[in-house]
Amino acid sequence: MGTVGKATASLFEQLGHNVLLHDIIEPNEGERFVAMCKHCEIIFICTPEQAVNDVLEKVPIEVSKTEIIKVIRSTTVPSMVKYEGLMAHNPEFLREQEAYKKPHYAIIGTEDAYVASRLTELYSPLNIPIYVMRPVESEMLKLWFNAKLACSISFANEMGRLCNQVGANGHLINNVLNRIQLESHKYHPSFIGPHFSGKCLPKDFDNVVKLYEKHLGDSKLLRAIKEANVT
pTM: 0.86
Residues 125, 37, single domain; the answer is yes
Q: Which domain holds residue 187?
A: 156-228
- In order of 12, 40, 44, 47, 76, the CA distances from 22 in angstroms are 15, 12, 10, 11, 20
Residues 102, 199, single domain; the answer is no
Residues 179, 111, single domain; the answer is no
Give CA–CA dist 75/56, Å, rounded.
Answer: 15
Residues 35, 64, single domain; the answer is yes
Residues 162, 130, single domain; the answer is no
Structural domains counted in the chain: 2
Is 162 among the domain residues?
A: yes
Residues 42, 122, single domain; the answer is yes
Residues 17, 53, single domain; the answer is yes
- CATH for 45: 3.40.50.720
Q: What is the average per-residue pLDDT within 157-174?
A: 96
Is 168 among the domain residues?
A: yes
Per mean pLDDT, which range of 31-40, 73-82, 210-219 is the poorest? 31-40
Is 178 among the domain residues?
A: yes
Is 174 among the domain residues?
A: yes
Q: How far separated are the first and last CA of the chain, in Å rounded?
A: 48
Query: Is 137 a residue whose pLDDT tops 90?
Result: yes
Is 73 among the domain residues?
A: yes
Is 149 among the domain residues?
A: no
CB 221 within 8 A of CB 154: yes
Give the confidence band of 191 by pLDDT, cuts at 50, 70, 90.
confident
Query: What residues have CB less than 8 Å from 11, skipping those under 6 apart?
Result: 100, 102, 103
Mean pLDDT of the chain, nearest integer:
89
Is 151 among the domain residues?
A: no
| pLDDT on residue 76 | 94
Give CA–CA dist 2/15, Å, rounded.
Answer: 20
Is 150 among the domain residues?
A: no
Give the confidence band of 120 by pLDDT, cuts at 50, 70, 90.
very high
Residues 127, 167, single domain; the answer is no
The tens digit of pLDDT for each residue in 10-23 reads 999 999 999 999 98
Residues 76, 13, single domain; the answer is yes
**Helix, strand, or coil (residue 21):** coil
For 178, half-sphere exposure in the C-beta direction (CA atoms, 13 angstrom radius) is 9
